[in-house]
């Protein structure tokens, strides 16, 4: 249900307010250009600085506008278990196909704490849950053994792996089997990730290159030599773009790229700031090299 190229949707702002009309246009832009799934209110959607009302609003809009055409996995994580439960229940009520739930940041729970956090959410909802493991932002790293325990629960279906460690794909495959859904959160390792048994990505780059990303994902999960060759070619085209998206803190670079492409403004919320001129040059060159600009 949730494989291939899934976009970690940016949240457009206008005068520091949620820009509903532009957000709706972005959703239809992705449906038109072959994106396989939508992920609103994640890291790239600036969830840490969205108000509770805004957080619920972007999920609601995404579900409504996608209208069942492509799945929506709503970002409903929090370092507060109670808040994560509340956001997940809301997403389920609004019709989201699943929830992407980040490991609790700042609190630094133990592996048992992580298990109990996700179990508490699992027990209160009835939609599929993807674990979002991103130690670089959350400080803590969920082990494969803890994921295996969680996979025994009714709603836990897989992981968005943003560890950057490709060995995790092999370890998870061995421990949980091929039905445990593995999506990379790192655009730059998507090719090798899929070769090892991954099923796709939750992508930042897909915000600005949805067709390239969806074509790449489609070819990369095929086993024939022609498809693998096409995946390699598309990966080479996308590499400079992937790199440029993380020269400064995400989502500032991708919002600037979106502005260049006429998709939305590049406003971000403090403590994030707009990218510097040298980074702007890197982003522009990457877009030109991929023939996006």
- Catalytic positions are 132, 160
Q: Is the peptide bond before 265 cis (omega within 30 degrees of 0)?
A: no
Sign of CA dihedral 267, 271, 274, 275: negative
Token pair 């489609």 is found at 218
Report whether 38 contacts 72 (CB < 8 A). yes
Cis peptide before 275 (omega within 30 of 0): no
Q: Please give the Cα distance from 138 to 74 (Å, whole number).
A: 18
Neighbours of 177 (CB within 10 A): 11
Give the three-class secondary structure for 183: strand
Residue with tokens 């090892």: 196
- Give the relative orientation of helices 210-220 and 225-244 as an angle to the nearest 10 degrees: 140
Q: Kindly list the distances between the CA atom of residue 99 and the CA atoms of 53, 159, 181, 184, in Å, as whole numbers in the listed order.
A: 17, 11, 13, 16
Spacing of C-alpha 110 from chain mean position: 24
Rounded-to-integer distance, Cα 56 and Cα 221, Å: 33
């Amino acid at each position: 249900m949730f494989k291939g190229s899934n976009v970690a949707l940016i949240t457009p702002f206008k005068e520091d307010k949620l820009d509903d009309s532009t957000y709706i246009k972005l959703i239809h832009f992705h449906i038109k250009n072959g994106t396989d799934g939508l992920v609103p209110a994640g890291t790239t959607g600036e969830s840490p600085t969205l108000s509770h009302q805004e957080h619920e609003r972007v999920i609601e809009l995404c579900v409504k506008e996608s209208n069942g055409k492509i799945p929506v996995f709503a970002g409903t994580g929090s370092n507060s278990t109670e808040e994560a439960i509340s956001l997940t229940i809301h997403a389920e009520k609004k019709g989201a196909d699943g929830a992407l739930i980040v490991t609790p940041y700042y609190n630094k729970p133990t592996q048992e704490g992580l298990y109990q956090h996700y179990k508490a959410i699992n027990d209160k909802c009835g939609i599929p849950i993807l674990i979002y493991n991103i130690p670089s932002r959350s400080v803590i790293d969920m082990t494969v053994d803890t994921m295996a325990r969680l996979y025994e629960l009714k709603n836990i279906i897989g992981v968005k792996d943003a560890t950057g460690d490709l060995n995790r794909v092999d370890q998870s495959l061995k421990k949980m089997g091929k039905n445990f859904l593995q999506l990379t959160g790192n655009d730059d390792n998507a090719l090798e990730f899929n070769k090892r048994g991954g099923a796709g990505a939750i992508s930042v780059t897909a915000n600005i290159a949805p067709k390239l990303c969806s074509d790449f994902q489609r070819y990369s999960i095929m086993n024939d030599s022609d498809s693998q060759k096409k995946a390699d070619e598309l990966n080479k085209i996308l590499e400079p773009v992937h790199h440029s998206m993380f020269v400064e803190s995400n989502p500032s670079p991708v919002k600037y790229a979106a502005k260049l492409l006429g998709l939305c403004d590049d406003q971000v919320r403090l403590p994030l700031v707009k990218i510097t001129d040298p980074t702007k040059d890197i982003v522009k060159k990457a877009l030109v090299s991929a023939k996006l600009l």
